[in-house]
Chains A and B, each alone.
Chain A
């Protein structure tokens, strides 16, 4: 019997690296009899797919369910439309915008830790890793974090999980979250479009700025602005939450590397990138082939859903030396270039620099106040299959008072 795996199994979800290695060595191009889709485990096959956008499309969506026809932006569009969208979004959502949030974020994190540090213990995920990306998203959208942060967390928790759902009929929890997020975004989008129509200057929020932007005569319509808003809220939060959690879990699990980091704090950017490589919070995303293809000797019929396993590519010795070693001294430039956790090619995550910055600022501010910590209860895994990470990470330390 040929080698197999189930993406949704406890075996995969609890220790994906073991499955990555087994499948890479024994069945690098796998078709799931249960779900009908293919998974690619070898870097060489992954690279082939992400560098050929004519053959491999995202039109059927990034998850296992075919969403062709739904309004989508960036993550569900192919060139040339995708290129125009990226140009337009990049006019607004770019490095200088992302960097502009660092001082405010540092203050926000310092405030969080001012309250947390004297307590001597926390749930790192709930108390730090969840609010930080949501605070950033509220800054991006120019909305009040105190009012919307908690709501957003509830929506995102459900909706991010739903990306990998196999159910075509969304459950009531998902529908409720989708309706909540829509009810939040729609007035923002409508107001932005009204300003555009009347010639009023756009506000500083991302949606206002995007509504006003134009590239080669193209402007975003309501569906696209809603799609982008959804995308920012869903894709920009859980992924970074997991990576912040993974960073602290990695320091607990690799005390030698943690000691090295404290000795050489200039290695922090390398450590952040290594955490993202090693843990790959999004294990994989999908492409659809526009024609019959053969990958790794396996014939794949046209219009198949193919899951590109970022996490496995990052553990392939063809891509990284000693791939299963967590090593914060890896060369930063090489790590950033090869790391597949943000995707690759034209669909590389535009928010990657923002995510890296969020993790780095949290760690810098934390270590100023809490240089030593330990896990006081076993961590609890995130329950949805889209993301791999922790739902709860319980840390404690010697509280020194304010």
Chain B
């Protein structure tokens, strides 16, 4: 069984990357896992690097 989709929150601006939704407007397909985003991907809202995201805990 595949891992459920998760949400990742930017610790700079609180933008949430939802793996289920992806970011189609930015060319990221729904279902794209956070770890599969390119290493140079940055927060679409504030520009912080991937290292500034952490798993959102419910």
Residues of A within 8 A of B (CB): 47, 50-51, 79, 83, 86-87, 90, 94-95, 336-337, 342, 344-348, 350, 352-353
Report which of A47, A94, A346 forms a contact with B52, defined as CB distance below 8 A: A346
10 pairs of A and B residues whose beta carbons are closest in the complex: A348-B46, A86-B11, A348-B12, A345-B47, A90-B11, A348-B13, A346-B48, A95-B14, A337-B45, A346-B12
Report which of B14, B44, B47, B54 forms a contact with A344, defined as CB distance below 8 A: B47
* Cβ–Cβ < 8 Å partners of A346 in chain B: 12, 46, 48-49, 52
Query: Could you tell me the distance between the alpha carbons of A359 and B13 in the complex, rounded to whole angstroms?
Result: 18
Instruction: Please tell me if the beta carbons of A348 and B54 are within 8 angstroms of each other in the complex.
Output: no
* Cβ–Cβ < 8 Å partners of B42 in chain A: 51
* Cβ–Cβ < 8 Å partners of A50 in chain B: 47
In the complex, B3 has a CB within 8 A of chain A: no
* Cβ–Cβ < 8 Å partners of B9 in chain A: 90
Report which of A83, A336, A337 forms a contact with B11, defined as CB distance below 8 A: A83
Residues of B within 8 A of A (CB): 9, 11-14, 42, 44-49, 51-52, 54
Report which of B12, B45, B49 forms a contact with A86, defined as CB distance below 8 A: B12
Instruction: Please tell me if the beta carbons of B14 and A345 are within 8 angstroms of each other in the complex.
Output: no
Would A83 and B52 be within 8 Å (CB), given that A51-B42, A345-B12, A348-B13 are in contact? yes
Instruction: Please tell me if the beta carbons of A350 and B45 are within 8 angstroms of each other in the complex.
Output: no
User: Which residue in chain A gives the minimum CB-CB distance to B13?
Assistant: A348
Q: Is the interface of B mostly helix, strand, loop or mixed?
A: loop
Can you add 7 more A-B contacts, CB < 8 Å, to A83-B11, A337-B45, A346-B48?
Answer: A51-B47, A86-B11, A344-B46, A346-B52, A348-B13, A348-B48, A353-B14
Q: List 25 A-B pairs, Cβ < 8 Å.
A: A47-B47, A51-B42, A79-B51, A83-B51, A83-B52, A86-B11, A87-B11, A87-B54, A90-B11, A90-B14, A90-B54, A94-B14, A336-B45, A344-B47, A345-B46, A346-B46, A346-B48, A346-B49, A346-B52, A348-B46, A348-B47, A348-B48, A350-B13, A350-B14, A352-B13
Query: Could you tell me the distance between the alpha carbons of A79 and B12 in the complex, rounded to whole angstroms?
Result: 12
B3 to chain A: closest CB distance in Å? 23
Report which of B12, B14, B44, B52 forms a contact with A337, defined as CB distance below 8 A: B44
Query: Could you tell me the distance between the alpha carbons of A79 and B42 in the complex, rounded to whole angstroms?
Result: 15
Query: Could you tell me the distance between the alpha carbons of A295 and B12 in the complex, rounded to whole angstroms?
Result: 26
A269 to chain B: closest CB distance in Å? 15
* Cβ–Cβ < 8 Å partners of A348 in chain B: 12-13, 46-48
* Cβ–Cβ < 8 Å partners of A353 in chain B: 14
Query: Could you tell me the distance between the alpha carbons of A87 and B48 in the complex, rounded to whole angstroms?
Result: 13
Query: Could you tell me the distance between the alpha carbons of A311 and B34 in the complex, rounded to whole angstroms?
Result: 33
User: Which residue in chain A gives the minimum CB-CB distance to B12?
Assistant: A348
Most B Cβ at <10 Å: residue of A47, A51, A87, A90 = A90
Query: Could you tell me the distance between the alpha carbons of A95 and B46 in the complex, rounded to whole angstroms?
Result: 16
User: Which residue in chain A gives the minimum CB-CB distance to B42?
Assistant: A51
User: Which residue in chain B gives the minimum CB-CB distance to A50?
Assistant: B47
Query: Could you tell me the distance between the alpha carbons of A47 and B49 in the complex, rounded to whole angstroms?
Result: 14
User: Which residue in chain A gives the minimum CB-CB distance to B54?
Assistant: A87
User: Which residue in chain A gives the minimum CB-CB distance to B44?
Assistant: A337
Instruction: Please tell me if the beta carbons of A345 and B48 are within 8 angstroms of each other in the complex.
Output: yes
User: Which residue in chain A gives the minimum CB-CB distance to B16?
Assistant: A95
Query: Could you tell me the distance between the alpha carbons of A345 and B11 in the complex, rounded to whole angstroms?
Result: 11
B9 to chain A: closest CB distance in Å? 8
B26 to chain A: closest CB distance in Å? 10
Query: Could you tell me the distance between the alpha carbons of A382 and B44 in the complex, rounded to whole angstroms?
Result: 34
A107 to chain B: closest CB distance in Å? 25
Query: Could you tell me the distance between the alpha carbons of A350 and B14 in the complex, rounded to whole angstroms?
Result: 8
A291 to chain B: closest CB distance in Å? 20
* Cβ–Cβ < 8 Å partners of A79 in chain B: 51
Query: Could you tell me the distance between the alpha carbons of A79 and B52 in the complex, rounded to whole angstroms?
Result: 10
Most A Cβ at <10 Å: residue of B9, B11, B49 = B11
Query: Could you tell me the distance between the alpha carbons of A337 and B9 in the complex, rounded to whole angstroms?
Result: 15
Query: Could you tell me the distance between the alpha carbons of A345 and B42 in the complex, rounded to whole angstroms?
Result: 9
User: Which residue in chain B gives the minimum CB-CB distance to A53?
Assistant: B49
